[in-house]
Amino acid sequence: MSRIAKQPIPIPAGTEVKLDAGVLTVTGPKGTLTREVKPDVIILIDGGYVTLKPKNDSDIFSRALWGTYASHVKNMLAGVNTPYAKKLILEGVGFKSEVKGTDLNLALGFSHGVVVPIPTGLTVTAEKNNITITGVDKEMVGQFAAKVRAMKKPEPYKGKGFRYDTEVIRRKQGKKAA
């Protein structure tokens, strides 16, 4: 049983939640998010709260989706009110990052520059090798940050590469001179 999904989820002021034909729509001051939902979970919107119930308590699949959909609804409600943000730090001599139009241009020590298209719905800023990714969809922000970080993961000897601002890179000693 999901402990998260048992509690009703409050709808913040200025936010509207609709469920039409299996599509959940959340509209707030910062944007609109939509998500298709399966009929295995019953979503009720009433009195400023969203409550979720599994359609069949004995079905393992609907009980598994119950907590998942509760987390999705909470993330959607939070995202349309205050956008999510991820910060990446690029460390290394000669490594550069800049935003040109709808592309993120990276110089990562390869023989060529790396161009990453920025998905619609995300705002990316790059200043002094600090990249900030913001958007209303938590999944999209996290996925794009992970995609950019995968271009040059931090290495343990000098710490060069992309790392999250809260991430700590464990350093290795390296070779010893004889």
CATH number assigned to the domain covering 3-79: 3.90.930.12
Cα–Cα dist 135/175, whole Å: 43
Distance in angstroms (rounded) separating the CA atoms of residues 104 and 130:
12
C-alpha neighbours within 13 Å on the C-beta side of residue 26: 26
3-state class (DSSP) for residue 78:
helix
Domain residue spans in the chain? 3-79, 84-164
Residue 44 neighbours by CB under 8 Å, 6+ apart: 50, 51, 52, 53
Residue pLDDT, tens place only, 91-115 = 989 899 999 999 999 999 889 999 9
Tens of pLDDT, residues 22-62: 899 999 999 999 999 998 899 999 888 999 998 887 888 88
Q: Which architecture characterizes domain 84-164 according to CATH?
A: Alpha-Beta Complex (3.90)
pTM: predicted TM-score of the whole model, two decimal places:
0.89
Domains 3-79 and 84-164 share a fold: yes
